[in-house]
Amino acid sequence: MPSSTANPKASPPQIIIKKTTLDDLIQALQREGYQVIGPVLEQEAIVYRPVTQLKDLALGWIDVQEAGSYRLERDEAQRFFAFTVGPQSWKAYLFPPREEIWKARRENGRILMEEPETPPRLAFLGVRACELAAIHVQDRIFLQGPYVQPRYARRREAVFIIAVQCTRAGNTCFCVSMGTGPHVREGYDLALTELEDTFLVHIGSEKGAALMAEIPHREATQEEVAEATRRVDAAAASMGRTMDTTELPELMRQSLESPHWEEVGKRCLACANCTLVCPTCFCFTLEDVTDLTGQEAVRVRLWDSCFNQEFTYTAGRPIRVSIASRYRQWLTHKLGWWVEQFGVLGCVGCGRCITWCPVGIDLTAEVQTLRHMYGRASSPATVSR
């Protein structure tokens, strides 16, 4: 985990590398023993996959997102990071959708436990501000309670983070409202801003500085720094969505018995897409399976969703029977109870749940409706994090 800030003498905090030099960075990370994960094109979407060289990255694509729709178009400017966020988030690597957490074997009347292999050291290339915020939300969940999730802790400790400043906002983005972006401010080892032929690199940690020492670079000019800021400011000014976060937990509490949940429940398919694409949703189930001989048992952790009916099975009966109650649970958790539980909102404004909802349910619109119903229409404001 990036903990200390860079020593400014070792290398200036803001430097310039050529775009092709990004390949050197990938190579250097691999030499350090990292598996690099970056944005690639797969099944007409930008997803995060292992990459070994610059040309694995999805170069020259722009995503066009709307409620219930996602489409890629060619980027005339041939940029590396002109798209925003896709269906997947880094959650898939820190908290994998399916993971063996232990194995047990019967032997001579005893049961022997086996721990799974140590997870690989990963380097994330292209983490956006909202995604960094989401990682910090999950850190609070998995690392800061009375208990710690050991597998998450190991992956998290080892990870190297190369953030990317968004220079374009999507139509379902609202990180500005949530106070999470688009400016990447902390929690990274390196942060890139894509310029015309170069990347401006902010160094965020000792680890980042050490890595950059090996890479050809030059000091950034004031103009380049200003240009980078301008580009991110432009993204901030073009958010496709907004959400008024004034007293959201209070609004959620007041809305608990609102008839509006029934109305959303009629549209919602309970498909669980929103929870799968959400970078902060953390619910999981544990499955215990045995091999055919019954001598070996494995516990597998799998992402689960509060939209599944079995989620609340208590002594064989679901408690949240209606879809309305499940949507209410999801939204009141994200925007209400989460604050009581973890001290932050559970939404970072990435907009994935809006884009990937097959019927286009838009939480920013639902919040607006609830505000009108419960008289908390308000001035534009952002939550302080």
Applying CB under 8 A, the residues found at the interface with another protein are 101-102, 104, 106, 110-111, 113, 115, 141-142, 145-147, 149-150, 256-257, 282-290, 294, 297, 304, 306, 311-317, 319-322, 325, 328-329, 333, 336-337, 340-341
What is the distance between the alpha carbons of residues 128 and 130, in angstroms, rounded to a whole number?
6
What is the distance between the alpha carbons of residues 158 and 171, in angstroms, rounded to a whole number?
34
- Shortest distance, position 316 Cβ to another protein, whole Å: 3
Residue closer to another protein, measured from CB, 153 or 234: 153
Residue closer to another protein, measured from CB, 145 or 380: 145
Of the candidates 193, 120, 141, the one whose C-alpha atom is nearest the C-alpha of residue 162 is 193
- Shortest distance, position 373 Cβ to another protein, whole Å: 18
- Shortest distance, position 142 Cβ to another protein, whole Å: 7
- Shortest distance, position 159 Cβ to another protein, whole Å: 19
Residue closer to another protein, measured from CB, 140 or 185: 140
For 371, the token pair is: 């505000």
- Shortest distance, position 179 Cβ to another protein, whole Å: 22
- Shortest distance, position 102 Cβ to another protein, whole Å: 6
What is the distance between the alpha carbons of residues 134 and 161, in angstroms, rounded to a whole number?
13
Of the candidates 361, 385, 290, the one whose C-alpha atom is nearest the C-alpha of residue 68 is 361
What is the distance between the alpha carbons of residues 343 and 175, in angstroms, rounded to a whole number?
18
- Shortest distance, position 118 Cβ to another protein, whole Å: 15
- Shortest distance, position 93 Cβ to another protein, whole Å: 18
Please provide the DSSP assignment of 6-43 as one string: P-TTTS-SEEEEEGGGHHHHHHHHHHTTPEEEEEEEET
Residue closer to another protein, measured from CB, 115 or 233: 115
CA dist 52 to 31, 57, 61, 158, 191, Å? 11, 9, 19, 18, 19
Residue carrying the six token digits 């944005």: 39
- Shortest distance, position 378 Cβ to another protein, whole Å: 23
What is the distance between the alpha carbons of residues 227 and 241, in angstroms, rounded to a whole number?
25
- Shortest distance, position 92 Cβ to another protein, whole Å: 17
SS3 content of the chain, % helix, strand, coil (to 5): 35, 25, 45
DSSP code at position 119 = P
Residue carrying the six token digits 């999730």: 149
373 three-state secondary structure? helix
What is the distance between the alpha carbons of residues 2 and 139, in angstroms, rounded to a whole number?
13
State the amino acid at position 279 in one-letter form: P
Residue closer to another protein, measured from CB, 192 or 281: 281
Please provide the DSSP assignment of 174-213 as one string: -HHHHT--SS--SS-SEEEEE-SSEEEEEE-SHHHHHHHH
